[in-house]
Amino acid sequence: MTKRVLVPVADGIEEIEAVCIIDTLRRAGAEVTVAAVGERQITASRGVKIVADCLLADCESETYDLIALPGGMPGAEQLRDSDMLRRMLTSHVQQRRLYGAICAAPAVVLQHYGLLSGRCATCHPHFANHLDSPSGLQQRVVVDGLCVTSQGPGTALEFALALVEILFDKETAQTVADPMILP
């Protein structure tokens, strides 16, 4: 059965994180939908243009196995301010489905939506004071049940591979990682 993944993007997201999540999950065989908040073409935090597959509104009635949020500023704030994404993520978590966020997004989006309550999480150190529970801040990637968080661009590949391992299995994650020549 094909695993379906939603990666919401918005102007100002961190491009390394977004592309790493999208690429790694597609290498694993997931059907990844990149959905924009706002216009289909977004400008990432370093000026890279990304064209989404569709608008977030096109995905509202869909069900996904994973929703993964890239960070970056002001992209994470753009994601946070989307009422549609809030509804989708809240429903997704209530259905006990896998979700993840990296960099600013755990603190700016997930914490703001109340989706880290009782969870161990990490984020970019600059946003650590926004987390209610800073117990996972020393870890590059934190997996707490169906919630996966990570610190930033330098941890994006580890984060994406952790998502692959949970979504599929350890062997699939290793099969994806091996050709990438990871240490």
Which residues are annotated as catalytic? 103
Q: How many helices (H) and strands (E) does the chain have?
A: 7, 9
User: CA-CA distance, 86 to 84, in Å (whole number)?
Assistant: 5
Distance from C-alpha of 50 to C-alpha of 37, rounded to nearest angstrom: 12
Sign for the CA dihedral angle at 132, 138, 143, 144 comes to negative
Where does residue 130 rank: exposed (0-12), middle (13-18), buried (19+ CB within 10 A)? middle
- 110 DSSP 8-state letter: I
